[in-house]
Structure 1
Amino acid sequence: MSTDRFAIVREDLHRRYGQYFYARTIDDLLDEKIAEARSHATVETFLPVTVEREVSEILEERAGARGRSGTARPEVLFVCERNAGRSQLASAITSQAVGDRVFVRSVGLNPTGGIQPEVLQVLEERGIPYAHLYQKEIVPRTVHRANVVVLMGVDEIPGIPGDRVERWDIADPAGQPVEKVREIADDIEAHVKELLVELGKANYAAQA
């Protein structure tokens, strides 16, 4: 059984229930059920499906007891060529602005070279967490059907499901000094605030 298949289950669960439960709560429950399922399974082909169903039922019941539902949050997906600069800035800034009320992802068409140090420096200057950021490529089910797919520096629309596609004309921070990266971050933040207003998250945009 590929670990990645359970990683996809984990992402799905965080997407649906991350606004209701701590990430550790979801992870611990999932890990427990994976271990239980593997302990008596002779064939693991369908374990991700069965485990996800069981964990979802438990979390749904817990959420319902609190008067909540596991309805998926709105999702925004940021896409650039390498997932090293613009998309990372956009996802981090958006997450800081709205917390867990919007599910935010970023991917790259050809993620290589690591996240730019200047990008991480600018995020640190702004007090925006970045330890969780890493480069991601587009693979099956890495992306869900997002409410909005934002393309930055991508000429052709990739095969990414989305209700709406936007193109942001944002300069590429690759090879730029940190002063220029700060300007790019300001530009991205302005675009993010406009998007959050359109998504009905104006109050949270105002806090960014």
Structure 2
Amino acid sequence: MSDSPAAPADHLRSTLTIDQRHALTTAATRLHEAFAETYGRETIEHFLTTSYDEFASRATVVNYLPLLAERFARQRLLALAKVEGKLNTDKPVALFLCTHNAGRSQMALGWFTHLAGDQAIAWSGGSEPDTHINQFAVEAMNEIGIDITGEFPKPWTEEILRAADVIVTMGCGDACPIYPGRRYENWELTDPDRQSLEVVRGIRDEIGNRVRDLLTSLDITTH
């Protein structure tokens, strides 16, 4: 494996500001430090730059792009390591998918992480990711002490799908992926988009009940 830190790919350098280039290079260095024993510079750079491209193509605010790219690349590299048997963990991975990854799947992710703690891993994604999380979803979850403000809409990728043990779909229809050998659940839930806070609270509570049932089926004790 190479010991050199990754850096922004050539196709990005010409479009980034000096601060963005510095932030992305710093992000690449952190990823290299975290995954140096598992993946080389080229793989890390590929995941970082393609993650950056994903967010840059639809971002309305660009200041946080390097950070979002780093976080998404880290998740994807962890998923790839699990798929390739390089991640030493037996924790089950649940993946929550909806259309915009802005409401239902984000609330499910919040519930799962809150209730399961470090006993399991949860990720989320959307077929058509929005640019921000539904603010009523954020507010409804905050009311019960679960903070999802640090999350962000993102797509699913092949390595993330392959790493999941359970895939929960919520209204993504024909766009929902089908991977052999995975456990699937389809939750029929109202889309919180353009709904009132009162309606979103009801969706939140229904998701919470479904997540508890899922955790019970995985033999995970909830907090």
Q: State TM-score, norm by structure 1.
A: 0.65
Q: CA deviation at 1:139?
A: 2.8
Q: Per-residue CA shift, 1:121-140, capped at 9, x if unaligned?
A: 01111111213311111234
1:100 to 115, 118, 122: 118
Contact conserved, 1:145 with 1:163, CA < 8 A, in 2?
no
Q: CA deviation at 1:113?
A: 3.6
For residue 109 of structure 2, give the secondary structure of its aligned residue in structure 1: helix
Q: CA deviation at 1:31?
A: 2.7
Query: Which residue of structure 2 aligns with residue 165 of structure 1?
Result: 184
Contact conserved, 1:149 with 1:162, CA < 8 A, in 2?
no
Contact conserved, 2:124 with 2:156, CA < 8 A, in 1?
no
Q: CA deviation at 1:46?
A: 5.4
C-alpha distance in 1 between matches for 2:90 and 2:128: 28
Number of residue pairs the alignment of both structures matches: 158
1:148 to 166, 184, 187: 166
For residue 83 of structure 1, give the secondary structure of its aligned residue in structure 2: coil
* Structure 1 unaligned regions, length at least 5: 5-26, 39-43, 57-68
The amino acid across from 2:189 in the alignment is: I
The amino acid across from 2:218 in the alignment is: L
1:73 to 68, 74, 91: 91
Q: CA deviation at 1:167?
A: 0.4
C-alpha distance in 2 between matches for 1:181 and 1:187: 10
Q: CA deviation at 1:150?
A: 0.3
Q: Per-residue CA shift, 1:58-82, capped at 9, x if unaligned?
A: xxxxxxxxxxx93241010000000
Query: Which residue of structure 1 aligns with residue 196 of structure 2?
Result: 177
Alignment RMSD: 3.1
Contact conserved, 2:110 with 2:146, CA < 8 A, in 1?
yes
For residue 150 of structure 2, give the secondary structure of its aligned residue in structure 1: coil
Query: Which residue of structure 2 aligns with residue 62 of structure 1?
Result: none
Query: Which residue of structure 2 aligns with residue 85 of structure 1?
Result: 103
C-alpha distance in 2 between matches for 1:185 and 1:163: 25
Q: CA deviation at 1:153?
A: 0.7
Q: 1:84 to 1:75 in 2, by over 3 A?
A: same
Correspondence list, 1:17-166, <5 A: 30-31=32-33, 44-45=41-42, 70-156=88-174, 157-159=176-178, 163-166=182-185
Q: 1:78 to 1:160 in 2, by over 3 A?
A: farther
C-alpha distance in 2 between matches for 1:47 and 1:115: 27
Counting aligned pairs with the same residue, the percent is 30
* Structure 2 unaligned regions, length at least 5: 1-5, 10-28, 46-76, 82-86
For residue 87 of structure 1, give the secondary structure of its aligned residue in structure 2: helix
2:208 to 189, 192, 198: 189
For residue 141 of structure 1, give the secondary structure of its aligned residue in structure 2: helix
C-alpha distance in 2 between matches for 1:3 and 1:83: 27
- After the TM superposition, which of the residue ranges 177-186 and 121-130 deviates more from structure 2? 121-130
Q: Per-residue CA shift, 1:153-177, capped at 9, x if unaligned?
A: 1222315566211101111111001
Q: Per-residue CA shift, 1:101-153, capped at 9, x if unaligned?
A: 11000000000241100010011111112133111112342444311100001
Runs of 4+ in 1 over 6 A off after TM superposition: none
